Amino acid sequence: MSVLRLIWLVCFCSVVAQHARSPVLDRILRRRSHNQIQALKDQLGINNQEAINREMDSAIKQLQYKYDFLLNVIRKLSQEQEVLNRELDEQRQSKRWVEATLGNGKRYRFSLEKKTWHEAKESCEKNGMRLASPKTQRDVTLLHQKLRELEPESGFWLSASDVGLTNTDFKWLGGEKLPLDSSLWEKERLDLDAPLNYGETAKSCVFIRKILDDKLYEEKCSDFTNFICE
């Protein structure tokens, strides 16, 4: 076959091939190409979503770890705060009270805070105690001696008062009378035939004071002073 004949045959086949592709074949080829591209996109999308999900799971685990860590820190801090609060309360209590067991075997609390008689009574009862009731001269003297070791110069409330009484007698909180002629009173009190006059509604309550004799004295129950619990 000559060269010219071969060239002619190639050109003829090319022309035939170009004219042989029908529109239907073109649509099929285009659709197949589109489907392949879409399938590739879908696969890429799935892969991307899986990667995103893995990253989110990892981030959630890290956040959960940090949350658990911080929660544990908060719990420990709360426990330490409770311990510090208890220690602080104990320190405050130690500054507000002086406790002592005296020669009569009784345990007393000497308050370093000033309150009215009614407030003092309530404070003692909240701590499972009562205002002190020294019913003998020995008890009064022991308390008076202890007061000399403390800083407050003011008086200390005891439980006796004329609260709720209409006559001239006083009573200890236990109900036992403290007569006006009792030797426990200071001398000027013994010289009186009636309680001091503080007005129609004011009542008298009993106290002792270290700068005075080891005797009982009376003052308005509404006055603020220290107190003794037993």
DSSP 115: B
| Amino acid identity at 144 | H
pTM above 0.75, yes or no: no
Backbone angles phi, psi at 184, to 5 degrees: -75, -20
- Taking the C-alpha atoms of residue 162 and residue 164, their distance in angstroms, rounded to an integer, is 6
- Taking the C-alpha atoms of residue 194 and residue 182, their distance in angstroms, rounded to an integer, is 13
Alpha-carbon distance values, 116 to 6, 97, 121 (Å) = 132, 16, 9
Classified as helix, coil or strand, 180 is: coil
Task: Give, for all 230 residues of the chain, the pLDDT tens digit.
Answer: 555 555 555 555 555 455 555 565 566 656 766 677 777 667 667 777 777 778 788 888 888 888 888 888 888 888 888 877 776 666 665 568 899 999 999 999 999 999 999 999 999 999 999 999 999 999 999 999 999 998 888 899 999 998 877 666 789 998 999 988 889 998 776 656 555 555 555 688 999 999 989 999 999 999 999 999 99
Task: Let me know: does 209 contact 156? Beta carbons within 8 Å.
Answer: yes
The CATH number given to 102-229 is 3.10.100.10
| Amino acid identity at 11 | C
- Taking the C-alpha atoms of residue 24 and residue 124, their distance in angstroms, rounded to an integer, is 107
